[in-house]
Amino acid sequence: MIDRSSTLVLTPSRTTLSGVWEGVRRIDDLERSNVLLVVYGHGPAAVRDAWFDHVDEAPTRLGVVGVGVSDRDTDGEAVSREGGDVLTGIRDPSDVADLGIAISLYLQEWAADDTPTILGFHSLTSMLDHVGVETAFRFLHVLNHRLANTDTCGRFYLDPSAVDEPTIGTLRSVFERVIERDRPTDEPLSPDVAFDLVKTARRRYVLYHLFESGHETSIETLVAAVARREGTDDHERVELSLRHTHLPKMEEAGLISLRSERVVVRGSLAAIEPYLSPAVESDLPGEEPPF
């Protein structure tokens, strides 16, 4: 049975989708439920594909609203306001009116039958990068009424370390329930995960750049650095690969956080250094190791 309450999930996980997958797996009768995912900074096609990589069951309907994405991030499918479309893109992440309309169209169409709907909103942290807390509060107040009217279960994710206590207090008041999840930043990196992270040259180039940059960089700078290492001028292809494959994988492993358009190391890169060292000589011929 699905808990119908609208829930604020306070978790240090910034934008990794692993927390969403974990929450969905706990829901009974997932195959007889609709799932709508609202995700900032990830193309809806990539999120759809990631769903089937992480979750064994397919819901009755799967909808994805990608926020702050371009047309190319819809993987060639038309961006539409029709509620039945699987994929929808919102270009402007500050346009909460457009986002509210997109969500409402899904909910209205899906409410035509008795299939329960689950909404995963990932994340409020990213929303607050683009709008003020008052705008977010008003948006959530209206949206939660729509969820209640359509018998929809909502899960909204927020990184408490990224906002101040007054902001958390304001947003708490909108929700029926609050869940706090702890995830330490110093979790040991298992050998299997570490070897998997360094097995591709593109992820190794990302790691070298993070060592060189002082453990924080912009995605734009990172794309340029990786493209230079690979000897390619196709920055667009490198960027798509980093955004939709390599950076999410590194984030899910707990190594980095994605903060708007920046990549930030979580804790220390020291744990990955022993696995990276054997490849330095062939990857960076004639250069000093960056660590």
37-64 confidence digits (pLDDT tens): 998 887 888 787 777 776 767 788 888 8
Q: Which residue has the tokens 């994805």?
A: 64
Closest CA to 65 of 83, 11, 54, 50: 83
Positions in the chain whose pLDDT score sits under 50: 1-3, 14-15, 75-85, 183-185
Query: For the CA atoms of the chain, what is the radius of gyration?
Result: 20
| 272/160 Cα distance (integer angstroms) | 27
Q: Which residue has the tokens 């020291």?
A: 270
Query: What integer pLDDT is reported at residue 44 of this predicted model?
Result: 83
| 90/80 Cα distance (integer angstroms) | 10
Taking the whole predicted model, whether its pTM rises above 0.75 is answered as no
| 58/145 Cα distance (integer angstroms) | 27
Three-class DSSP category at 30: helix
| 126/282 Cα distance (integer angstroms) | 38
90 beta partners: 67
| 158/126 Cα distance (integer angstroms) | 8
231 Cβ partners below 8 Å, 6+ apart? none
Dihedral sign for Cα 288, 289, 290, 291, please: negative
What the block records as the tokens of 62 is 């799967």
157 beta partners: 9
Q: Render pLDDT for 222-279 as a digit per residue (tens, 0 to 9).
A: 999 999 999 999 998 899 889 888 888 888 787 887 776 888 887 778 889 999 999 9
| 147/175 Cα distance (integer angstroms) | 12
